[in-house]
Structure 1
Amino acid sequence: MNIQLALDRMSIQEAIDMARLTEPYIDWIEVGTSLIKEFGMASVEAMKREFPHKVIVADVKTFDNAKYEFELCYKAGADVATVMGAAPLVTVDLSMKTARIWDRQVMIDLLHTMPEEQAALARYWEAVHCLHVSKDQQEGGGSRLAGPGAYGAALDGAPGSAGESPAELRIAAAGGITLESLPGLMAMKPEVLIVGSAITKAPDPAAAARAFQDRIRELGRR
């Protein structure tokens, strides 16, 4: 299980400094949507230059023009780029095709998707499917991702061949994740846990990241 550090609403240098503090305890580094919107692909380039050994996620949340946007991300050094699951399937399909050409990865953000959409997206078994409670939902309604919730269809897996069981999808979880919410999330068997403010806004971010790593290992032994 990988810890993805989400870096948002800060400068490029602040993002680099935060990643440097927590580097021993994280696996993937997310160049957040706000960081990319404010500073462009320079933010992705800087993060890959500083952390070439880490998986760099460009959270562009593509909804259209997938080939162009994904090529921007991959040229800048991103290992993973994100597309919205609510986008037209042709857009998701172009994201996947572009990733294959570049030998990179896709994360499909399932924010605001319906079960039938999640079921249709299960065909993209190579992608990471991200179960997501948005920032606005967290701040406006007090919602956090604490379990499968509305994402049952996504967790059912990709369709198998005739007579075969569905393949387990690669799952990521995001949305106000805390140490306390980890036990409920482990049942989803996420490949990636995306953590933002619980680490970045902690008094000691390095200690907070280490606590996540320790707790995940503890729960994994049970």
Structure 2
Amino acid sequence: MKLQVAIDRKSLAETTKLVQLLDGKADIIEFGTSLVKDFGMQSLQKISNKIKESQILYDIKTYDEGAYEFESGFNYGADYLTVIGSASEKTIALCNDQTSNKKKMMIDLTDVPAAQVAKIAGYSQAIYLIHHNNDSSTKQDLIQMVEQFHQNHPNIENLAVAGGIDLKAAQKLRQQELVDIIVVGGAITQAVAPLNELQKFIRVIKGH
């Protein structure tokens, strides 16, 4: 199981400090959508170039221009890029066409109905991200979400999960053994002592 740490709503200086802290400890360092929109991938590449051990994800949330955005994102140093699961099947296919064996497409399934998921379930190398909508006023049991998704789509094997994950949820997800990547954001990056929280998550997720 991999730990992905998402950096969002930070300055470039704050992002640089977090990257230095996370490199080699988090399996994947995510440059969140807010960073991509605020600063652009060209500016973020200057930071991501400093990453020596962890893999890099740009949360670009592609909805159109799939071929261009994925080619560009990989050229700017990403190992993973995200596409919205409610995008057209053609757009997702074009994103996949830009993805080599060494790169990964992550399909964000925020608010994507089961019928649409079934239509895009055939990408065996893709990561399917179960993601609770941050703007939703209701709380969602992520453990239940993952279990229900697995029941509805048993043939999808590569799963990630995100959305307000704390240590308790991370422990339950590890015990559930249905997801490959746990995405943690503010519980680490907004903490008073990010390194301490990072180490707690590593112990919970990886057992060391």
State the shift of 1:16 in Å.
1.6
Query: Shift in Å at residue 146 of structure 1?
Result: 2.4
Q: Take 1:194 and 1:155, find their aligned partners in 2: how far apart are those partners?
A: 21
Is 1:213–2:195 an aligned residue pair?
Answer: no
Following TM superposition, the consecutive aligned residue runs of length 4 or more in structure 1 with deviations greater than 4 angstroms are 153-158
* CA–CA separation in structure 2 for the residues paired with 1:106 and 1:190: 16
The Cα shift of 1:191 comes to 1.2
Residues 128-181 of structure 1, C-alpha deviation per residue, up to 9 Å, x if partnerless?
0000012212xxx252552142773456556xxxxxxx4x51111100000011
The runs of 5 or more residues in structure 2 that have no matched partner are none
What is the rounded CA distance, in whole Å, between the counterparts of 1:103 and 1:206 in structure 2? Answer: 29
Distance in 2 (CA, whole Å) between partners of 1:150 and 1:215 is 18
Asked if the contact 2:23/2:52 (under 8 Å) is kept, the reply is no
Name the aligned partner's letter for residue 129 of structure 1: Y
What does 1:127-206 correspond to in 2, within 5 Å?
127-137=126-136, 141-144=137-140, 146-149=142-145, 152-153=148-149, 156-157=152-153, 166=155, 168-186=156-174, 187=176, 189-206=178-195
- CA distance in structure 2 between the partners assigned to 1:174 and 1:198 by the alignment: 12
- Partner secondary structure for residue 139 of structure 2: coil
Question: Could you say what secondary structure the match of 1:136 adopts?
Answer: coil
Q: Percent identity?
A: 31
2:114 is matched with 115
Task: Give the 5 Å matches for 1:31-70.
Answer: 31-70=31-70
Sort the Cα spacing of 1:61 and 1:217 in 2 relative to 1 into closer, same or farther, 3 A: same
CA contact (8 A) 2:7 2:30 kept: yes
Q: Distance in 1 between matches of 2:81 and 2:161?
A: 16
User: Aligned-pair distance for 1:85?
Assistant: 0.5
Deviations 1:3-37 (A, max 9, x none): 11101111222112012223343110001101000
- Backbone CA RMSD of aligned residues: 2.1
Question: How far 1:83 sits from its partner (Å)?
Answer: 0.1
Deviation at 1:189, TM superposition (A): 2.2
8 Å Cα contact 2:23/2:29 also seen in 1:
no
Offset from partner CA, 1:30-55 (integer Å, 9 cap, x none): 01101000100124412331103321
CA contact (8 A) 2:22 2:29 kept: no
* CA distance, structure 2, for counterparts of residue 108 and residue 128 of structure 1: 6
| Structure 1 residues 42 and 89, CA gap change in structure 2 (3 angstroms) | same
Counterpart CA distance in 1 for 2:36 and 2:159 is 24
Residues 152 and 89 of structure 1: is their aligned pair in 2 closer, same or farther, counting only changes over 3 Å?
farther
Residues 107 and 129, structure 1, Cα contact 8 Å, conserved in 2: yes
1:182 deviates by 1.9
Letter in 2 for 1:38: D
| Counterpart position of 2:91 | 91
